[in-house]
Amino acid sequence: MAWLTDQPSASPPPGERLAELWKRPGLLRIPGTHNALAALLAKKAGFEALYLSGAGISASLGLPDLGVMTLHELCFVTRAVYRAVGLPLVVDGDTGYGEILNAMRVVRELEEAGAAAVHIEDQVMPKKCGHLDDKRLVEPEEMAAKIEAAARARTHLRIIARTDAVASEGLEAAIRRARLYLEAGADAIFPEALESEEMFRDFARAIDAPLLANMTEFGRTPYLSAEQFEAFGFKMVIWPVSALRVAAKAMEELYTGLMADGAATGFLDRMQTRQEFHELVGYHRYEALDSSIARSAVAGAPKRDGTQG
């Protein structure tokens, strides 16, 4: 609704708005939203920034998280989510979709789509989920060059450098990589797949920059709360695919029930009502806008003789 009628906002661009949130005391909680409908629900719950997971969007397309999703598909979802909610979006940019020039294009395309930040990781393509085994990394200097190029291409987008080095090279190597990436122009660091509370504390003590924690389920990281991540010294926490996992499980149960019973009535208490759904997507506000414009256009339409009606 706002996207159809509002003029461009005079407020700071998304990247600067996210940076202002980083300056506030406390931890920024950023849930994963795999489409615009999920984003509307997250905004309704009160979240101030959202996360677009490569794994979540890929799964929504029926694809695995192996870097096979295209930049076009990522930007399509980013644009749809930003138009729906207008909140700062942290977007998963995988490995930058290629090398130096590709990473620069990712930055420009995501800025135009409405993103506030992108994180780029130091894996070799085809990349893997950060919580799986046998990840292969590029050399630190190669990743630093990609970060420098991404920072050069942006106007407001914040660059978050993700390192997957802990699993294969150890914590100290990951810290050295993080420092190099900050020198290259990264604004924040995302240390992936830390395996203990002590690792989070040690990383935060060693790195003077906003840090992003990944609280994914069924991975290497123990289940920790937002309050704990804040106490460790982190500035952001994401739950990248939690909403998608819950939604997928609910849909699986519904389809199984439909196949077995031939009816969905047993799931009514787990559905949004028609009214709740319409309120969420702004159905009646769009309908009112359509009616008001149609009426005004008809009322002021020229007659056959050229005069106004």
pLDDT, tens digit, 9 for 90 and up, residues 84-111:
999 999 999 999 999 999 999 999 999 9
Instruction: Give per-residue pLDDT as tens, 167-193.
Output: 889 999 999 999 999 999 999 999 999
- Across all residues in the chain, what is the average pLDDT? 92
For tokens 């202002």, the residue is: 20
Q: What is the pLDDT of residue 291?
A: 84
| pLDDT band (50, 70, 90) for residue 308 | very low
Within 8 A by CB and 6+ apart from 226, the residues are 27, 29, 237
Q: Is the dihedral of CA 225, 227, 231, 236 positive or negative?
A: positive
Distance between CA 217 and CA 144 in Å, rounded? 29
Instruction: Give per-residue pLDDT as tens, 269-280.
Output: 999 999 999 999
Distance between CA 295 and CA 298 in Å, rounded? 5
Q: Identity (one letter) of the amino acid at 261?
A: D
pLDDT score of 303 more than 90: no
Share of the chain above pLDDT 70, in %: 90
| pLDDT band (50, 70, 90) for residue 11 | confident
Catalytic residues: 51, 65, 92, 94, 119, 121, 129, 162, 192, 214
pLDDT score of 64 more than 70: yes
Instruction: Give per-residue pLDDT as tens, 22-47.
Output: 999 999 999 999 999 999 999 999 99
Instruction: Say whether the peptide bond before residue 31 is cis (omega within 30 degrees of 0).
Output: no
Question: What DSSP designation does 265 have?
Answer: G
Q: Where are the alpha helices (DSSP H) in the chain?
A: 2-5, 14-23, 36-45, 54-60, 71-85, 100-113, 140-153, 165-169, 171-184, 197-206, 226-232, 242-261, 274-281, 283-299
Instruction: Give per-residue pLDDT as tens, 119-153.
Output: 999 998 777 665 666 778 999 999 999 999 999 99
